[in-house]
Amino acid sequence: MRITHGQMTALVMLVLLVQIYAYAPAYMAEHTHQSLWIPLLLSIALSAIVGWTMLIVSEHYPNESFVSVLHKVIGKFLGNIVAGLYFIYFFILFIIHSQMIVTTFKTLFLPRTPMSAILLLVLILALYCSFLGIEVLARASNMVLILLLATILLLIFSVIPEIDPSYYKPIFPQSSDGLLYSTLISFSNYGQIVLLSTIFPFVNHQKEKRKRSKVFGGILFSCFLTSMVLVVEIGVFSPFELQRLQYPTVELITLIQIGEFMERMEIFLVTIWAGAMLLVIGIFFTVSCLTMTHMLKKPKESKALNILLIMIGFASILQFVPDTTNLITFIYGQWVYLSLIFHAVLPVLIGLFFFIRIKVMKHGKS
């Protein structure tokens, strides 16, 4: 089974559409106030460069797994090291997203339910997704993506009348303090575009023509759309009030009024977001398992390995990020910096090795 460029795009778009507006608005508003649009644009531009580089490298080896591509570009020794690092990266993202949905549901809707029970259900679903494989997840992503896009667009257009333009003044910041940190926050989300490299080998290249511009058009649209959510929140709540809100997007949803028959719109829309988040969790866990399988040079995925990894994930979440406070501390105290390794340092290393190798090969032929 193979997937199309459109399905690959849908998977990456879905990943980029679920996280940044959860906790980031408060932290970005604290550091850049009404000027958070600047770090958002900077991070989107950086992510586009990184994604474009990784896509070009992947297109040069269309039928090779991500690990095999690394072996051919930077050699087996370094390739195994980088592949191992990316396994850790995808596994950490799996942990972050899993605990994010668990803490959100426990705080907002299920305060009396033990967190471990909710977490167990989420991880069982992630394990099931890994058994289904990327191809099935790609096909499921299309419908979920449409629902999530419709939800975000509905949210943005519904609260536009609540925006106070004065909250955006002055448009440009008076100092650059906090600009770098806010850029790192948004880049830690949009930089997840590197996922392209692990999904690209599943595209049916024999029947599919190159659609690089369409792929990037969809991905950049998802980045700009989620950025608009943050910009709208500034206009609705003001930068100073936004800093105090733990779940600003949920607060934004409560402002939507569609007659008297939908009094709790936040439950309906958060449920759609949760469905998308669960699929993204499954994607990250599946990619983690695939990366490890290819590193171990196994001909196919091992269910025993997947079960072992899900058990490690369960223990890691309970040990290191057992609640919202620990999760937020990890994301904004450590992960925004650690993610630079995977979103900037390693892609630059891979890109440099690739272009040097291509140049040497062309020189050798001439």
**Chain centroid, CA 147 distance in Å:** 17
Amino acid occupying residue 226: T
- 3 φ, ψ to 5°? -115, 170
Q: How confident is the model at residue 249, as a pLDDT?
A: 87
% residues pLDDT > 90 (the chain) = 66
Structure pTM?
0.94
Arithmetic mean of pLDDT, 70-80: 93
Please report which confidence band the pLDDT of residue 208 belongs to, taking 50, 70 and 90 as the band edges. Answer: low
Examine the pLDDT at 267 and tell me if it is beyond 90: no
Arithmetic mean of pLDDT, 24-53: 93
Please report which confidence band the pLDDT of residue 254 belongs to, taking 50, 70 and 90 as the band edges. Answer: confident
Instruction: Kindly give the residue spans of alpha helices, DSSP state H, lying in the chain.
Output: 5-17, 20-32, 37-60, 66-74, 76-108, 115-132, 134-159, 179-190, 196-199, 212-237, 239-242, 248-253, 265-295, 303-320, 324-330, 336-340, 346-365
* Structural contact between residues 48 and 303, judged by C-beta atoms closer than 8 angstroms: no
Q: How confident is the model at residue 62, as a pLDDT?
A: 83
pLDDT digits (tens, 9 = 90+) for 169-189: 888 887 788 899 999 999 999
Q: How confident is the model at residue 216, as a pLDDT?
A: 87
* Structural contact between residues 135 and 1, judged by C-beta atoms closer than 8 angstroms: yes
CA distance 339 to 292: 19
Nearest to 99 by CA among 326, 353, 356, 342: 326
Domains of the chain: 5-365 (1.20.1740.10)
Nearest to 352 by CA among 82, 64, 170, 105: 82
Please report which confidence band the pLDDT of residue 241 belongs to, taking 50, 70 and 90 as the band edges. Answer: very high
Q: Alpha carbon of 54 to those of 103, 183, 347, 358: distances in Å?
A: 33, 21, 7, 15
Examine the pLDDT at 275 and tell me if it is beyond 60: yes
Arithmetic mean of pLDDT, 15-43: 92
